[in-house]
Chains A and B, each alone.
Chain A
Amino acid sequence: MATSALSTTLSDNGAVVERHWQELNLRRRTYTFLGLALLAVALSGSLWFANATNAGKFFDRLPYFFDFVGDLVPRDGAEIGRAMFDLPSPYDDGSLKYNYPEGRMYLTDSIYVPEYFYKMLETLNIAIFSTIFGMFFGFILCFFAARNLMPNPWVRGLARRVMEILRAFPEVVIAGFFLAILSLGPIPAMIAVSIHTVGALGKLFFEVVENADMKPDEGLRAAGGNWFERVWFGIVPQVLPNFMSYFLLRLEINVRASTIIGAVGGGGIGEPLRLSISQGHEAKTLAIIILLFSTIIAVDQFSAWLRRRLVGDQAFQLAQ
């Protein structure tokens, strides 16, 4: 009874409020609708464009979409193990497809590291080395880019622009440039990943520094500490856990990045992966994928565990 009375008779003020609410609602719906329509137009345009400029047409090639599953079926299950551990294959016909024992890295006369393990190790090393390297320079740069520590807008702006450019500069170009100078090998990939890491970590770091508690800094300033002392004793201890957390997050990303750069000539596991997929060597492909997959999961899990210990649940916010 009370509700029906309320809904039928509104006071004048109530009617005005209701009308306003309806207007607002209508406007919001229009915007939502327009936004979705724009998105739909952009999407269909994009799809048409992508299809038109692709080598194979989508619907012609759709039946082949899951062909890669077929690329992953070796002649028998044990082949994967043989490919992974460089054991001779019973199907060996001299072709590249079954030449597993080639590429063994002999440590002594009889003990060897299987090729793909060695390559995986190389990729991991590229990632770790460049992340440490990038962290070192990102660490130095970030204090110059933070508003609370660098009052000079020119220095701050310069540091930020440098980091932006380092971050946005395509890694593949840096890798390609150094490939031309240093010739094939992992070092161009390391340089490319490092340079990108300096920019990416520098940005994350200076944002952490800007959110730091400034009270220790004030204390040090009051006691007459110079800029370096203020940074080193006032800021660094409180940001270090976050820095380490971002370092580990970057390490996860860099393992993937160095794999990709490896595929375009930068050494490591990427190159054999690209070759074996394009040549249709099922056992090799599967061996590499399993290796890569487990490495990535191991690195992710390790880093997640360590980050949780370092900074608690904060580690799992969206990291940029």
Chain B
Amino acid sequence: MTVTTIMNTAQMDAIAARHPHLLQGSTSKRIRSILIFAGIGLYMIYSWWFFSIGQVLVNANWGIAGTYLADWVSYEVRPDIKIANDGTMQVVYPRYSPLGPDAKPEWVKIETKMMDRTIDVPAVTQQAAPKKSSSFSFMAPNAAVGGSAEAGARTETRTEEVVSRATVNFNSTTSIAIADGKVAATHAGETLLIDLDHSAGVTPEGTLPEWATQKRPGEKVTLAFGMTGWADVDKEKISIHNRFPGWANFIFDTNSPFFNKSFGEVTSLIVSGERLDPSRSNLSLAWNNILYNSEWQHLDVWTKLLQTIVMAFVGTLFASIIAFPLCFLAARNITRNGVLNQVIKRFFDFLRSVDMLIWALFFTRAFGPGPLAGMSAIFFTDTGTLGKLYAEALENIDDKQREGVKSVGAAPLAVQRFGVLPQVLPVFASQALYFWESNTRSATIIGAVGAGGIGLKLWEAMRTNSDWENVCYMVILILIVVFIFDSASNFLRSRLMGQKTH
């Protein structure tokens, strides 16, 4: 027995010679697969050329991609250090700084001193400013300014408190110190000294380290510190971009009375503090401040997200309600009227093939931007899709149940109700659920063309190129919603269909 199972090479070759068609695939099959792969390869090369992909990728601004990506999960604080002619400095925060109106962050250390300064007092402040809106002539006000400037411009000597030395600590190894027209930047164990002069411009001492760049002598020096931020050193202004992980002012914005308070402080204010606004409780004030947070617009984002969910829900529900009776007319085994079957089926095909985008654009014109447009678009498209799927499901039913009900003399409607419906209802519901879930995703994108929901908000946030953290917030919310709906729909469908559905 065992001897027969062991073959030597000669025997194996003999078998191979006897059944060549089994061991070698037919040549046409081999050639076909090679041809298919070659075709795909050629097509990809053609597309590469058609879209000039290589060129676009090379020309792309990849440097900015890193900044944009970093913006998703971090924010920058951008103080400017302005240097006046006499070497005195001023630390200025932009108007909408995440640190609020009068910020004194720990990482910016300033030394001040009292000093006599000679200040040019602009003439215009001395007299009534010329009316800018005067329409009769633009020569007259100009002349007036010229005349008064000579008379009014003068210098004044005041004693002021000025910043004499400023140190910005990005982190433990990176810092910039500015004093007496000199900048000392330290990063990764190297220190770069830069001289600032009003006539000679910006002059770095020694060779530039890797993290510093200067395009031309005298021009600004850009210091890139990686994820901790960067700085532009110019002769009159040093722009600091200090990057912090996280989202700034996610709960309370800088105008809120609760801004910059710890969780404990806010809680104690809400529970037992005095009313900050006499007209309402602190709790409602805090809640209101959260909802109308000017940077994050929580209420608006949530409303738009709900709109997206509602669009998908109502659109799919209406679509299945309309598709349900129509599919009985479209199924050739239920309605034995070939013309009617074809008419309804082509109608479904029409609704489906006119893209959701086209419907969305049309209904945006009818209803104006908002969820009604998106809802109608989903409704129209999915009536077609669901109708087609429902009709196919009906055509695949088991006829025995129907015959059984018919054989006991049931009325036509009763035959459908007891012979057909029990078979297809789980399939119908399962497909409606699946489209509900998938529409939650597609509702996002048709929103971007104006059909309501979070899509438009996302698109607007992206357009500015500076609100990537808001984009991230909305994406996270969308992902959460999609995952919840995905699981809910999967759960319901597996209940409906048994274990078969995946």
Residue numbers of A with Cβ under 8 A of B are 39, 42-43, 46-47, 49-51, 53-56, 58, 61, 64-68, 71, 122, 125, 128-129, 132, 164-165, 168-173, 176-177, 179-183, 185-187, 190, 207, 256-257, 259-261, 263-264, 270, 273-274, 277-278, 289, 292-293, 296-297, 300, 316, 318, 320
Contact = CB atoms under 8 A, between A and B. Distances in A.
B442 to A, nearest CB: 8
B44 interface: yes
Interface stretch (B84-92, B210-218, B404-412, B446-454): B446-454
B365 A171 contact: no
Given A43-B314, A61-B366, A170-B445, A273 B479 contact: no
A50 B307 contact: yes
Contacts of B375: 50
16 contacts: A43-B313, A50-B310, A54-B370, A54-B373, A54-B452, A56-B367, A58-B372, A122-B50, A128-B43, A129-B51, A172-B448, A172-B459, A180-B64, A256-B355, A260-B446, A264-B459
B60 A67 contact: no
B357 A176 contact: no
Contact of B68 (A53, A64, A129, A181): A181
B392 interface: yes
B361 A274 contact: yes
Top 7 nearest A-B pairs (CB, nearest first) are A54-B370, A55-B368, A176-B462, A56-B368, A68-B362, A50-B371, A46-B310
B361 A58 contact: no
B458 interface: yes
Contact of A50 (B68, B314, B362, B444): B314
A172 B365 contact: no
A94 to B, nearest CB: 25
A292 B350 CA distance: 12
B67 to A, nearest CB: 10
A58 B317 contact: no
Contacts of B182: none
Contacts of A56: 366-368, 370, 372
A54 B356 contact: no
Given A172-B448, A176-B462, A300-B353, A71 B362 contact: yes
Given A42-B313, A128-B43, A318-B430, 7 more contacts: A49-B307, A54-B373, A61-B367, A170-B444, A177-B462, A270-B357, A296-B353
Contacts of B369: 54-55
Given A125-B51, A168-B482, A190-B51, A49 B392 contact: no
A65 B478 CA distance: 30
Contacts of B486: 168
Given A180-B465, A270-B357, A293-B354, A260 B365 contact: no
A61 to B, nearest CB: 5
Contacts of B502: 207, 320
Given A171-B445, A181-B68, A53 B370 contact: yes
Interface of B: 40, 43-44, 47, 50-51, 53, 56-57, 60-62, 64-65, 68, 303, 306-307, 310-311, 313-314, 317, 349, 353-358, 361-363, 365-373, 375, 389, 392, 427, 430-431, 434, 441, 444-446, 448-449, 452, 455, 458-459, 462-463, 465, 471, 475, 478-479, 482-483, 486, 502
Main DSSP-derived SS at the A contact region: helix
A208 to B, nearest CB: 10
Contacts, number: 191
Contacts of A170: 441, 444-445, 455, 458, 475, 478
A278 B365 contact: yes
B370 A50 contact: yes
Given A56-B367, A318-B389, A187 B358 contact: no
Given A170-B444, A170-B475, A292 B358 contact: yes
B317 A43 contact: yes
A31 B313 CA distance: 21
A127 B430 CA distance: 28
B368 A176 contact: no
A147 B257 CA distance: 54
A99 B353 CA distance: 28
B438 to A, nearest CB: 8
B43 A65 contact: no
Contacts of A125: 47, 50-51
Contact of B392 (A173, A185, A316): A316
